[in-house]
Structure 1
Amino acid sequence: MSARQRILCLDDAPYVLDGLRRHLHVDYNVVTTTQPHEALDLLAADKGDPIAVIITDIRMPQMTGVDVLKRARRISPDTTRVLLTGVADMRSAIAAINQGHVFRFMLKPCPPEDLKATIAAAATQSRLVRAERELLEATLKGCVDALVETLAMAQPALFSRASRLRRLVQRVCQQLGVVDSWQIEMAAQMGEIGAITLPPSAIAVLEGGTPNSPAEADMLASLPKLADDVLARIPCLDAVREIVRHQLPTDRNPMVPLRPHAPSGAWLLQAVREYDALVWRGMPRDVAIAALSSRKIHSRDLLIALAVVGWPRLSNDTVREVDLDELALGDELAGDVYSAKGMLLVTRGQVITDRLLIRLRNYEVTGDREGPVFVVDA
């Protein structure tokens, strides 16, 4: 990220932009444009060096400044919005502030001292909002990770799927350049939490099989609602809940599209879940992609991303046997690990964390673990 915060100035009068740049360039990295759509494109791009403040005139030929800031709010909510207005447009400016779309407005002509003070306050506001959001995301992700990993100790077969789906979602989002992918990753994890209510036979079905009875099919169909009930108790997860609520069982034949107005994250997670179910039951990855393509439900870009990331692993990927002392954090298990009494400890596809490693070592020390440990050879 640039040492200086970026300020985006939009006005259809080049001389106004020249004045803004002249007064602000010492303290900020100033970007200017006379085109509203170009300004919105700039907001949507360069997420590694985000725009802290957007300043726009209220009157422009293509789009009003209020409309620009409304769209800017959706595209880049952390960007603070400032409106330039004349006395004749005062009513529109006040309405924009009351609607919550504008941090502050400035009357034209604006004295340089007032301009600098306003932009300094707006830039500080952007920094605080961004820091608060990042802290909230890190806190929520940490809590969810700890919860899911703890549940995986008790239900390894069930929650290894949640971990697998999350990693696949993460890779697909990276491939597609998805913003706020943490919400989809969290939905991939927490969307499975309702499965703790399932009997063992239904858990096996969840891994990609076919329900043995209408009762099991109803159980699987109810999982998004059960997960949503859990998520409703955690604040600030409305976007995650919306993704989870739209998920459909992966055993339906034929598969149907998601409900109208489903968010893009819900489409991505649904495709990942369908792909994972096909490959997990033994279908080659290229055949699974072809099967998804034949359904004519998911976008071409999404299917290409799934094909590129190439997860889960194929059964003929190179694996190696390791002693428990050689097992390292980040190793991916190529086979299930059992206790001496036949209890499943960790499932294939799991990535070794410090807590999983401690669990396995504790079983080893007590003599209650036997059999080889296989990992995917990187």
Structure 2
Amino acid sequence: MTAKLQVLCLDDEPHVLDALRRHLRREYDVVTTTQPQEAVDLLAAGHDGSVAVILSDMWMPGMTGVDVLERARSISPDTTRVLLTGDADVHSAIAAINQGKVFGFMLKPCPPRDVRATIAAAAEQHRRVRAERELLEATRKGSIDALTDALAIMRPGLAGRAGRRQRLVERLCQRLGVADAWQIVMAARLDEIGAITLPPSATSAIETGTSASATEVEMLANLPHLTDSVLARIPRLEAVREIIRHQLPTDRDPMSPLRPDAPDGARLLQVVREYDALIWRDTSPDLAIATLSSRKIHDPEILGALAEIVGMRLPNEAVRGVEVDDLATGDELASDVHTVDGTRLAARGQVVTERLLVRLRDQTLTPGLQNPILVIHVIDL
């Protein structure tokens, strides 16, 4: 049986709420309150859009219906907003449209048939919004997975590098309590995806941090903008692209500070990228942190948090060798994976995906893999 959609009704007159509940309870899960702040709190508790429709009275003590619907729009944008008012004041209507972006109005007294019709239309609007969002999310995920799979096949070193930095960003954001951390994590995963289009010599320069020619220097300097153009057609990545656009090449000496308008996420990711570049050149973690600090261009709070977490394996992590048949999706590689003739198929730091697993298993036949494969194993404590 399909669960009923939830409708939240707010009015300071209990008898109005009783009537709304009677009219709507057959089709909907009706939640009522006479307190504007309680309605806002209920929306915040279901911020994922579990409240399909909010119906708010216009005039209430402490907070107007316009105020409530404006906050509802911010807290739960997928929730359809409907205003209930006892007068047809033009100014109130304009305020509701401009601030609360209401879907519809109902004027008191409202016949039961009109109540049900308005709420049915609002619920259908909610379904359409959610369906569109789910379609966009599926499109975004499919596009990103396809790009990262292509990077893993064509440039395994860069895929491993992205994996290392992504996990470091995740731990750093967790330590700092960063809001919307997913945007920075996604930027760490994708910030060099444009390198797929560059020649192998240029991508080698990205890995080693040393450019061999002026042409390579120019290509690497343009990499954030190249990546941005690759990601431009993927929906809902605007904040991620903004972080990526502000990144600087990590092979410059001395390093320059980011532009003043760079978002905080860009500053955090730039620290991780510079740290990873130093580690890749066999700099010790302590010296890498000291080098970043000496540049005097990074947030001391970010550097302090980074110093606390780098160079430390989690207590329940260990490295072990496995055969390819024992690999599983989600495993993190602790070393590069090569064929017996020396071709690199995957890089240290990559997370094993279904596509990579199939590719590695195919290679066990011809020409075969160098064994064992080292992975980071999580031990149950």
Fold agreement, TM-score > 0.5: yes
1:84 alignment partner, SS class: strand
Unaligned runs of 5+ in 2: none
Matching residue of 2:261: 260
Q: By how many angstroms is 1:228 displaced?
A: 1.5
Q: By how many angstroms is 1:16 displaced?
A: 4.5
Render the CA deviation track for 1:116-160: whole Å, top value 9, x for unaligned.
332233223213311321122022211220222023211111123
Q: By how many angstroms is 1:197 displaced?
A: 4.8
1:328 alignment partner, SS class: coil
Change (3 A) 1:71 1:268: farther
Give the letter for the 1:353 counterpart: T
Report sequence identity in percent.
56
Render the CA deviation track for 1:299-318: whole Å, top value 9, x for unaligned.
77x9869968x89958x952
Render the CA deviation track for 1:287-309: whole Å, top value 9, x for unaligned.
859968x9663877x9869968x
1:318 alignment partner, SS class: strand
* TM-score, normalising length: structure 2: 0.75
Which protein has the larger Cα radius of gyration, Structure 1 or Structure 2? Answer: 2
Matching residue of 2:195: 195
The answer to whether 1:82 aligns with 2:56 is no
Maintained 8 Å contact 1:43/1:51: yes
1:72 alignment partner, SS class: helix
Matching residue of 2:122: 122
Matching residue of 2:107: 107
2:299 to 297, 300, 316: 297
Kindly report which structure 2 residues correspond to 1:1-378, keeping only aligned pairs within 5 A, or say none: 3-12=3-12, 16-17=16-17, 19-21=19-21, 23-24=23-24, 27-32=28-33, 34-36=35-37, 39-47=39-47, 50-60=50-60, 62-93=62-93, 96-97=96-97, 101-166=101-166, 181=182, 185-198=185-198, 203-204=203-204, 206-207=206-207, 209=209, 218-235=218-235, 237-249=237-249, 256=257, 259-260=260-261, 262=263, 266=266, 269-270=269-270, 273=273, 276-277=276-277, 283-284=284-285, 297=299, 318-378=318-378
Unaligned runs of 5+ in 1: none
Change (3 A) 1:43 1:222: farther
- The CA distance in 1 between the partners of 2:164 and 2:269, in whole Å, is 12
Render the CA deviation track for 1:158-215: whole Å, top value 9, x for unaligned.
123334445556677788596694x555443332222235555654554584767887
- The CA distance in 2 between the partners of 1:278 and 1:112, in whole Å, is 69
Change (3 A) 1:165 1:259: same
Render the CA deviation track for 1:224-247: whole Å, top value 9, x for unaligned.
211111222445544443343344
* TM-score, normalising length: structure 1: 0.76
Count of matched residue pairs: 371
Q: CA RMSD in A?
A: 4.4
- The CA distance in 2 between the partners of 1:305 and 1:126, in whole Å, is 42
Change (3 A) 1:323 1:290: same
2:333 alignment partner, SS class: coil
